[in-house]
Amino acid sequence: MVSIKTENEIKIIHEGGKILATVVKELEKMAKPGITTLELDRAAEALILSKGAKPAFKGYEGFPYSLCASVNENIVHGFPSNYVLKDGDLLKLDLGILYKGFNTDMAITVAVGNVSFEPKRLMNVTKKSLRLGIKKAKIGNTIGDIGNTIQRFVEDQGFSVVRDLCGHGIGKSVHEDPKIPNYGKRGAGEKLVEGMVICIEPMVTMGDYNLKKSADGYGYATKDNSLSAHFEHTIAITTKRPIILTE
């Protein structure tokens, strides 16, 4: 069942989203060759707590860290570790916080050091597909309109959209209804209504879209070991326009 948020609840989520965006921006600055993903996790938790919020992912379904850190072919839910980031890595940072009883969730992909042209293009296409999907998050449109827009743009650029994972509603729980796939048909699925708060999160690969479990046994990686990218924002559906709450 989809939870509809009040104007005041959306305001609280927006406050939390601004905190989250600030933390992610700091982590992006830190993501340089020579740092470990475990160091980024520790920094994320310290920053979140210093701003009066709590890590939303720590302990969620057994996840033992605050930050999801996934490198190269690993696309989501990766365990932070002693892996030392190196020149040319594509690092996915996925982070959520709990603030005043409500969750927000966002993800970025960071080019570590000097990254070659095609991986950078993968990142840029994924980021643009998120923006295009957000534009479709209007009252009267459907979840299928969002997914179809993302899928068509990504595939036109020669990349693949992950099918086995998707975006989601968010609020008092990290994951709520509805599911927001990054593929689909126009006009299909649930209609978007005022007060919905959703996470749109394209996950895009250079090769095939099929996934396998990561080596850590928790995250997901591309089955063909191709590079992947991931971007995510928390969005409110309003009468005027979709509002990005994690900016």
The DSSP annotation for 142-196 comes to BHHHHHHHHHHHHHHTT-EE-SS--EEE-SSSSSEEEEE-SS--TT-SPBP-TT-
> How high is the pLDDT of residue 152?
98
> How high is the pLDDT of residue 167?
98
Phi, then psi, of 21 in degrees rounded to 5: -60, -40
> How high is the pLDDT of residue 226?
98
| Domain residue ranges in the chain | 7-244
CA distance 241 to 227: 33
Cross-strand bridge partners of residue 179: 168
Each residue's pLDDT tens digit, 173-208: 999 999 999 999 999 999 999 999 999 999 999 999
CA distance 33 to 12: 36
Which residues in the chain come in under a pLDDT of 50?
A: none
Q: Quick one: 7-244 is in which CATH superfamily?
A: Creatinase/methionine aminopeptidase superfamily (3.90.230.10)
> How high is the pLDDT of residue 216?
87
Residues in the chain: 247
Is 41 in contact with 67 (CB distance < 8 Å)?
yes
Each residue's pLDDT tens digit, 5-20: 999 999 999 999 999 9
